[in-house]
Amino acid sequence: MVVQTQKVKAEISPRFLPRVTVEGSIYKIDAQDLHYKELNTLLRELDAMGVEKVELSNVYGQRYIGTDLKTKMKIDIYGTPGNDLAAFMDGQTIEVHGNTQDCIANTMNDGKIVIHGRAGDITGYGMRGGKMFIRDDAGYRVGIHMKEYMSNKPYMVVGGTAEDFLAEYMAGGVLLVLGLTLKKGEQHKSRFVGTGMHAGILYVRGEISHLGKEVKMMDVDKKDLAVIGDLVKEYCGYFNADYDKIMAGKFVKIVPYSSRPYGRIYAY
In the complex, the residues that contact another protein under the rule CB under 8 A are: 36, 59-61, 63, 79-83, 99, 101-102, 117-118, 120-121, 136-137, 139-140, 161, 163-165, 189
CA distance linking residue 143 with residue 138, whole number of Å = 10
Q: Pick the closer one to another protein by CB: 118 or 153.
A: 118
Least separation in angstroms between residue 80's CB and another protein is: 4
Which residue, 114 or 201, is less far from another protein as judged by CB? 114
Query: Which residue lies nearer to another protein by CB, 177 or 228?
Result: 177
Could you give the angle at the alpha carbon of 143 between the alpha carbons of 193 and 210, nearest 5°? 5
Minimal distance, residue 170 CB to another protein, in Å: 17
- Rounded Cα distance, 75 and 64, in Å: 13
CB of 179 to another protein, least distance (A): 12
Closer Cβ to another protein, 107 or 174, answer by number: 107
Rounded to a whole number of angstroms, the distance between the first and last alpha carbons of the chain is: 71
Q: Which is nearer to another protein, 84 or 148 (CB)?
A: 84
In the complex, minimum distance from the CB of residue 25 to another protein, in angstroms, rounded to a whole number: 28
Burial 201-231 (b: 16+ CB within 10 A, else e): bbbbbbebeebbebbeeeebeeebeebbeeb
Helix (H, G, I), strand (E, B) or coil at 71: coil
Distance CA 71, CA 111 (A): 11
Which whole-number Å values give the CA distances from 102 to 4, 43, 119, 139, in the listed order?
Answer: 39, 21, 7, 8
Min separation Cβ 189 and another protein, Å: 6
Quote the least distance from Cβ 81 to another protein, whole Å: 8
Query: Considering beta carbons, is residue 137 or 214 the nearer one to another protein?
Result: 137
H helices within the chain, ranges in order?
Answer: 2-9, 36-49, 222-239, 243-247, 263-266
